[in-house]
Amino acid sequence: MILDSSIDLVRESLVLMMTLSAPVLGAALAVGLVISVLQAVTQVQEQTLTFVPKILVMTAVAVLATPWILSMLMEFSVRMFSGMP
């Protein structure tokens, strides 16, 4: 019984972690792809060129997604603590 609920809790937390990190990682992927295409078109092969735009976009997405992230974390926490004996 305890083992089953522990496995479910770990599974739910991993799914939640992947769900919450998806917007930030997706934005980083999109910016990296756009910058890479621009570098290929212009033949500028500077590795540090993608760093600043990725950081800025990831920060912006994280700030914009903060209310959603916090609500998801609160729902998970309430569900987790309410299920404790």
Tokens in use for 11? Answer: 């599974």
pLDDT given at position 13:
94
Residues 6+ apart with CB under 8 A from 34: none
Q: Is the pTM of this model over 0.95?
A: no
Looking at beta carbons, which pairs linking 20-24 to residues 24 or more positions away fall under 8 Å? 20/69, 20/72, 20/73, 23/61, 23/65, 24/58, 24/61, 24/62, 24/65
| Model confidence pLDDT, tens digit, residues 67-77 | 999 999 999 99
**Three-state secondary structure call for residue 84:** coil
| Model confidence pLDDT, tens digit, residues 1-55 | 588 888 988 999 999 999 999 999 999 999 999 999 998 898 888 878 888 999 9
